[in-house]
DNA sequence: TTGAAAGCGCTACCAG
DNA sequence: CTGGTAGCGCTTTCAA
């Protein structure tokens, strides 16, 4: 089924069919009707590949994300999608699942598709790949790609500020032994949330103790990390989680081992996804305005008129949100060791 | 940047470049090396549109889903994606957000892209659109598209069985006044989960009372529905939710109004998404094997060798999972009205 | 207002 | 083993 057959059936040239299809030029009304009739009779659907080839481009944005399953991304996506559809853009997404070979494959896929812009929400990307991408001349905006700063357009979140607030809050409540729960890539040398924690600690209370735990970025991962924590000997009174998703996993595991939050131990999240209000107890967390990020992505990639369009870097200021997962530290005592506690209650 | 330029730089024909690119035919080693060098020096990436146009197709599956944000879908997707990537297929997804115009647009988009197969996980699709899709000669598998039975390849879940189990369980616990919480499309005339409920009730205990509540398919929607329920005068002792996501929303709202689950009211979900184990209390629900669905989708669309490939319909048998969100009904009494209860405790 | 025809970048067939 | 070349289905001048 092709233009040609439509043209034949409507007794016009392919050029004319193309015209009515795209609503360009002026086409006599009677001709237009004839063409539309042929189109629907033949159940004709233009071949989009041919179209972008001939037109030398298409209104399509690519989005690469490292973990589709984190609702954080979905919220960004929803805002981006709304803007795109409102302006005739399509979106194609690729999920890397934190696998670097998959990231390479996804980047090449997007280049091969000749997307008109690319949003990379991947938090890590090596230099060569960045160069390969940049050389393709596709407009790219990174979200939160660490200190790998080259001449890259980047949307950054001021994690320092967020972490600072969390730590302040926890110290004010008397916590001094803190566990940090991250996913693997959050423990890499370039991870900002973790280094921000280091710094905040060093600045606010160098005497505080921290221990790091890592697992997969998921509910299960959070539970894993909590299990590790409880299996170890570190008597944490508070757990700072790299994001809400893992925090909810931590919450569940603690509950399962009869450890009360926040009475026995405090837990914080990050992102303020919807789930952070629906879990039990609701999480103290840091809000990142995800829909704003989606809109900014659109503006930077598709709307040269936009005020932000030519900025090299946009910094998002997150906001601290206190809910019910944090409370005063238990008085320091031997029996306060989470492990002992868990054991005792079991 | 095109094949031609690569060819020129490597002093070969475009045909040869194409050969090394696709690893077909035999190419002398020295030539191949020369070509590869040119390719990387030029940072060349084949234009996928041109490729599928010339090749008359591409290994790409389309997936249309009505609610990207329900983790149920993500689980199906993950399995499907694994199979696809393992066999050199790409996936493009479209999200309709339950909007029927968006469904139409997405179907046309997929046809325009000439995907080699399409999975429609949308639960509703009108006849004309189905015909349009079928006429396009693209292999399509529907998941759970209601009784709109034409000559369609469909994966069905035996909801009847699942609902039957839920109802049995609830009756055994002494519940007689039941609220059903669904999203809007789950209250449509063709919805199977709801009609399955009707039937199960009629068969098992015609005297039982039911009332329906609807809201958006999301955590928020679940909370909304619970609010409606509590604002009304129906003294439900159990809430059957159309899926886990909404159930978690219900749980949260009940908790907020100090209504205990399962002591004051029982709640059930459906799907058995991961969250159903991580929420509080863990949900009594019905397991739908989502990864199996993903694999079946792949097999039916891409693997004609597969045993199921030529079946017209596959029926999935779900399994009942009892957890902690259900318990004995409160003794019937005036004070047992959820509304009264909520008010009293507030 | 419409048609003819030259590509867009690639694959695949036919020669050599 | 390699090159030439005819399309794939569409858009877009250039003429008429």
For residues A150 and A267, state if they share a domain.
Answer: no
Q: Measure CA B273 to chain center.
A: 11
Contact list, A46 vs chain B (CB under 8 Å)? 112
Q: What is the CATH number of the domain that holds A219?
A: 3.40.50.2300
Of A90-99, A191-200, A321-330, B169-178, which range is least confident?
A191-200
Q: Measure CA A298 to chain center.
A: 15
Q: Are strands A140-143 and A154-157 parallel, antiparallel or unpaired?
A: parallel
- Quick check: A93 pLDDT over 80? yes
For residues B165 and B258, state if they share a domain.
Answer: yes
- Selected residue of A41, A45, A61, A131 to mutate for chain B interface (largest B Cβ count, 10 A): A45
Q: Cβ neighbours of residue A22 under 8 Å, at least 6 residues apart?
A: none
Average pLDDT, chain A: 92
For residues A105 and A7, state if they share a domain.
Answer: no
For residues A212 and A328, state if they share a domain.
Answer: yes
Average pLDDT over residues B121-138: 94
Q: Per the confidence metrics, is the pTM higher than 0.75?
A: yes
- Quick check: A269 pLDDT over 90? yes
Average pLDDT over residues B40-44: 97
Q: Quick one: pLDDT at residue B334?
A: 45
For residues A149 and A103, state if they share a domain.
Answer: yes
Q: Quick one: pLDDT at residue B345?
A: 53
For residues A209 and A254, state if they share a domain.
Answer: yes
Alpha carbon distance A41, B16 (integer Å): 42
- Give the 3-state secondary structure of residue B133: helix
Q: What is the CATH number of the domain that holds A37?
A: 1.10.260.40
Q: Among candidates B154, B159, B197, which has minimal Cα distance to B178?
A: B197
For residues A149 and A209, state if they share a domain.
Answer: no
For residues A152 and A164, state if they share a domain.
Answer: no
Task: Place A333 in a pLDDT band, splitting at 50, 70 and 90.
Answer: very low
The alpha-carbon gap from A23 to the nearest alpha carbon of chain B, in Å, equals 18
For residues A191 and A252, state if they share a domain.
Answer: yes
For residues A166 and A277, state if they share a domain.
Answer: yes
Task: Place B306 in a pLDDT band, splitting at 50, 70 and 90.
Answer: confident
Hey, are the CB atoms on B280 and A255 less than 8 Å from each other?
yes
Alpha carbon distance A135, B133 (integer Å): 39
Q: Quick one: pLDDT at residue A344?
A: 57
Average pLDDT over residues B278-289: 98
Q: Quick one: pLDDT at residue A332?
A: 56
- Quick check: A304 pLDDT over 90? no
Summarised one tens digit per residue, pLDDT across range A107-123 is 999 999 999 999 999 98
Summarised one tens digit per residue, pLDDT across range B138-185 is 999 999 876 656 678 899 999 999 999 999 999 999 999 999 999 987
For residues A108 and A141, state if they share a domain.
Answer: yes
For residues A141 and A215, state if they share a domain.
Answer: no
Work out how many domains chain A is built from and give that number: 3
For residues B165 and B322, the answer to whether their CB atoms sit within 8 Å is no
Domain span including residue B4: 1-44
Task: Place A345 in a pLDDT band, splitting at 50, 70 and 90.
Answer: low
Q: Quick one: pLDDT at residue B309?
A: 67
Which is more confidently placed, A9 or B344? A9
Alpha carbon distance B46, B18 (integer Å): 9
Q: Quick one: pLDDT at residue B271?
A: 97
- Which of B93, B111, B112 is opposite residue A93, by nearest beta carbon? B93
Q: Closest CA to C12 C1' — which residue?
A: B55
3-state helix, strand, coil in chain A (%, to 5): 50, 15, 35
């Amino acid at each position: 089924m092709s233009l040609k057959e439509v043209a034949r059936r409507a007794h016009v040239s392919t050029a004319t069919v193309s015209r009515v299809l795209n609503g360009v030029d002026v086409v006599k009304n009677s001709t237009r009707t004839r063409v539309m009739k042929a189109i629907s009779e033949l159940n004709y659907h233009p071949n989009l590949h041919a179209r972008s080839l001939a037109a030398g481009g298409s209104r399509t944005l690519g989005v690469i994300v490292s973990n589709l399953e984190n609702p954080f991304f979905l919220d960004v996506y929803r805002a981006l999608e709304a803007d795109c559809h409102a302006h005739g853009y399509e979106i194609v997404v690729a999920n890397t699942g934190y696998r670097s070979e998959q990231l390479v494959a996804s980047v090449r896929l997007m280049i091969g598709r000749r997307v008109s812009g690319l949003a990379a929400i991947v938090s890590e990307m090596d230099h060569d790949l960045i160069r390969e991408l940049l050389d393709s001349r596709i407009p790219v905006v990174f979200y939160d790609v660490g200190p790998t700063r080259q001449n890259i357009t980047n949307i950054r979140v001021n994690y320092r500020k967020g972490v600072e607030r969390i730590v302040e809050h926890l110290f004010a409540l008397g916590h001094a032994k803190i566990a940090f729960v991250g996913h693997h890539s959050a423990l890499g040398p370039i991870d900002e949330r973790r280094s921000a924690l280091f710094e905040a600690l060093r600045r606010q209370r160098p005497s505080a103790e921290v221990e790091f735990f890592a697992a997969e970025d998921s509910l299960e991962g959070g539970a894993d990390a909590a299990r590790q924590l409880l299996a170890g000997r570190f008597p944490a009174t508070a757990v700072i989680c790299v994001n809400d998703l893992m925090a909810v996993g931590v919450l569940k595991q603690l509950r399962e081992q009869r450890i009360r939050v926040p009475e026995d131990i405090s837990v914080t999240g990050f992102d303020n996804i919807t789930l952070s209000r629906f879990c039990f107890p609701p999480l103290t967390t840091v809000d990142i305005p995800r829909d704003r990020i989606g809109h900014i992505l659109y503006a930077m990639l598709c709307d040269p008129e936009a005020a932000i369009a030519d900025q090299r870097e946009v910094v998002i200021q997150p906001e601290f949100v206190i809910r019910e997962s944090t409370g005063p530290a238990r008085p320091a005592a031997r029996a306060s060791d989470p492990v002992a506690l868990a054991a005792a209650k079991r």
